[in-house]
């Protein structure tokens, strides 16, 4: 009889400890910030990508999203895996555009936006940004035969910009400041803006210099177009994620500190900006002194969080 009683007590104890473990797991996931809790329960990280922002985020020949920003997001995803104790998280790629990328983050349609997004004070009211991943600025792409060598030559001309970009705002500012009487036309994506120039429907395409170089390289159109003028804006890029989640912020910054300490950032930069891209072309854009400093600072700040 004692034996049966002991077994029953043992079973009750086992059931109680299983319940306690389940409750502890529940509490643990409840203790996670909303984005991390959702990732833990679904085992999926949703990465927002762009179709035509080489080399940051674009489609390869087999229509797979690739790029520098996506590799940085994968490093953040590894760190998320550590945080939620799941080494086998899956990626769900979600296409975003310049215009819908911020709502996609705010509304929880994506967890990380891995594109070519400028981190500025205006946007920081709605979303959070990773440490600096690149420094760009608005310049103009014009046909090689064009006499335009800067903003002042655009008087009365048509300039195409991509909707929802900082470049759109920059061109309106330049237009006002220099009284150029510009005709500013807008398209939904960089590829369409580029096509407007190809089709002769615009005199110039204004966007970040690095994206212009990327499009020229991708279309092998070095003999047709050139990038001209002074910088018309300053655009520091970051990876976007949801604001108001300190735990997610810690994970993102920890991922960047690990990359900085492991000296992985400059080789990663060189892979996408200096070496030949998987799609065959080469941008050959050396790292800027500001970006190199920012990467080194991540290593110097090891163990500190700002």
199-237 tens-digit pLDDT? 999 999 999 999 999 999 999 999 999 999 999 999 999
Q: What are phi and psi of 90, to 5 degrees?
A: -100, 155
pLDDT (0 to 100) of residue 299: 82
**Count of residues for the chain?**
306
Count helices and strands in the chain by DSSP H and E runs: 10, 14
List, in sequence order, the alpha helices (H) in the chain.
Answer: 2-30, 34-42, 68-84, 101-106, 166-178, 190-198, 209-218, 246-261, 265-273, 289-300
Question: Does residue 302 have a pLDDT over 70?
Answer: no
pLDDT band for position 279 (50/70/90)? confident
pLDDT (0 to 100) of residue 31: 87
pLDDT in tens, 33-88: 999 999 999 999 999 999 999 999 999 999 999 999 999 999 999 999 999 999 99
pLDDT band for position 137 (50/70/90)? very high
Name the one residue in this structure whose structure tokens are 């047709």: 224
Task: Please tell me the distance from the alpha carbon of residue 58 to that of residue 115, in angstroms, as a whole number.
Answer: 9
pLDDT (0 to 100) of residue 55: 96
123 three-class SS: helix
Task: Please tell me the distance from the alpha carbon of residue 182 to that of residue 41, in angstroms, as a whole number.
Answer: 51
Report the chain's mean pLDDT, rounded to a whole number.
91
Question: Does residue 130 have a pLDDT over 90?
Answer: yes
The closest alpha carbon to 233, from 152, 137, 169, 149, belongs to 137
**CATH number among 3.40.190.10, 3.40.50.980, 3.30.230.10, 3.40.50.720, domain 138-228:** 3.40.190.10
pLDDT (0 to 100) of residue 111: 98
Task: Please tell me the distance from the alpha carbon of residue 212 to that of residue 231, in angstroms, as a whole number.
Answer: 13
Residues of the chain with CATH 3.40.190.10: 33-135+235-300, 138-228
**CATH fold of the domain at 33-135+235-300:** D-Maltodextrin-Binding Protein; domain 2 (3.40.190)
């Amino acid at each position: 009889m004692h034996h049966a009683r002991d077994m029953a007590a043992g079973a009750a104890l086992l059931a109680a400890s299983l319940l306690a473990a389940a409750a502890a797991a529940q509490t643990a996931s409840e203790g996670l910030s909303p984005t991390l809790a959702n990732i833990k329960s679904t085992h999926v990280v949703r990465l927002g990508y762009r179709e035509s922002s080489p080399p940051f985020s674009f489609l390869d020949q087999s229509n797979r999203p690739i790029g520098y920003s996506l590799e940085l997001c994968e490093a953040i995803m590894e760190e998320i895996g550590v945080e939620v104790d799941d080494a086998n998280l899956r990626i769900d790629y979600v296409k975003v555009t310049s215009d819908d990328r911020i709502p996609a983050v705010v509304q929880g349609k994506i967890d990380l936006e891995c594109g070519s997004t400028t981190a500025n004070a205006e946007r920081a009211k709605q979303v959070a940004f990773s440490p600096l991943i690149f420094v760009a600025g608005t310049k103009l792409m014009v046909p090689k035969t064009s006499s335009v060598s800067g903003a002042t030559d655009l008087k009365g001309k048509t300039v195409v910009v991509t909707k929802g970009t900082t470049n759109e705002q920059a061109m309106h500012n330049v237009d006002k400041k220099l009284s150029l009487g510009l005709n500013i036309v807008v398209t939904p994506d960089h590829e369409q803006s580029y096509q407007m120039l190809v089709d002769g429907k615009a005199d110039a395409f204004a966007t970040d210099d690095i994206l212009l170089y990327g499009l020229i390289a991708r279309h092998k159109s070095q003999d047709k177009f050139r990038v001209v003028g002074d910088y018309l804006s300053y655009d520091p890029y970051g990876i976007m994620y949801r604001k108001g989640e300190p735990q997610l912020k810690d994970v993102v910054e920890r991922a960047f500190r690990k990359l900085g300490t492991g000296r992985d950032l400059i080789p990663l930069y060189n892979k996408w900006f200096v070496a030949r891209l998987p799609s065959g072309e080469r941008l050959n854009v050396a790292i800027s002194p500001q970006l190199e400093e920012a990467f080194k600072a991540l290593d110097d700040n090891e163990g500190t969080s700002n």
